[in-house]
Amino acid sequence: MRIIMVGGTGVIGRPVADTLAERHEVVRAGSRSGDFQVDATDRGSVERFFREVGPFDALVSLVGGAAFKPVVELTDEDFERSFRHKLMGQINLVRAGLPHVRDGGSFTLTSGVLSQEPMPGSSAITIVNRGLEGFAAAAALEMPRGVRINVVSPPWVTETLEELGWDTSIGMPAAQVAPAYVECVEGSRNGETLDARQFA
C-alpha cells in the first residue's frame, strides 16, 4: 500500500510510520518536516499537497494541537485555535483527500484518551477528540467506493509525560501505539474509535 502520514514525524507518528514502513510505502509529512510539507489548517495548502503526493491507499493523520487550560482561563481564541488545528485540520485532510484515495482505501485520524477520560484542563481537547470520533462514525456511513474511516485514541505516551515532567506510570511508550494504526490501515473496520491500549 501507499500510505500518507501527516504528522508522521512527531513523537507518536515516527514509530507508527516506522512500523507501517516495514510492509508498505510510507510518505511522511508535517507542516515543516517530512518528505512533503502541508499545513492541515489551510484548505489551499491541503489541496496543493494532495495534488503533489498523488493517489494513495491510506491516509493516517496525527495532526494535533489544542489548548490545555482550566475552563475559566480558556479564551475564545483558545477554543478557535483548538477547533481549527486538531479538529478541522484532520477533517480537512479527509474532505480534500477523498478524490485522491484509491477504491477500498482508508482514512485514520487521531483523537486521544482525554476524549473518554477527561481531566481538569482538558475541556477544549475533550470536545475536539469527541468531535473527531463523532465525525468518523457519521462520515463512515457516507464514504464512497469502499473507503473506510476510523480513529485511533492513544493514551498519554511515556515520551510526552517525560517531557512534561509528569508521572510516566500512567502512559505507555509511543511505539506501542502503532498496532492500533496498523489495525485501522490493514483491517476492515469502519466508523470505529480504537483505544490504542487494547491493541498494544
The footprint of ligand NAP (CB under 6 A) covers 6-7, 9-13, 30-33, 38-41, 62-65, 86, 89, 110, 112-113, 154, 156-157, 160
Q: At closest approach, how far in Å is the CB of 137 from ligand NAP? A: 18
Residue nearest to ligand NAP (CB): 10
* Shortest Cβ 133–ligand NAP spacing (Å): 12
Beta strands in the chain (DSSP E): 2-6, 25-30, 36-37, 56-61, 101-110, 148-153, 193-195
In angstroms, what is the minimal distance from the CB of 145 to ligand NAP? 25
105 and 56 Cβ atoms separated by less than 8 Å: yes
Q: In the block, which residue shows the cell 473496520?
A: 189
The amino acid present at 2, given as its one-letter code, is R
When the beta carbons of 31 and 108 are compared against ligand NAP, the nearer one is: 31
Here the cell at position 143 is: 464514504
Nearer to ligand NAP by Cβ, of 13 and 105: the residue is 13
The CB density around residue 83, as the number of other CB atoms within 10 Å, is: 17
Nearest alpha carbon to residue 31 among 22, 42, 17: 42
C-beta closer to ligand NAP: residue 32 or 144? 32
Q: Which is nearer to ligand NAP, 57 or 116 (CB)?
A: 116
Q: CB of 146: closest distance to ligand NAP in angstroms?
A: 26
Burial of 29 (0-12, 13-18, 19+ CB in 10 A): buried
Alpha-carbon dihedral sign for residues 73, 152, 174, 2: negative
Shortest Å distance, C-beta 190 to ligand NAP: 21
CA 179 to chain centre: 14
Taken as a whole, the chain contains a residue count of 200
8-state DSSP, 32 = S
Which residue type is seen at 180? Answer: A
The residue (of 54 and 146) whose beta carbon lies closer to ligand NAP is 54
Nearer to ligand NAP, 1 or 11 (CB): 11
Closest distance of CB 65 from ligand NAP, Å: 6
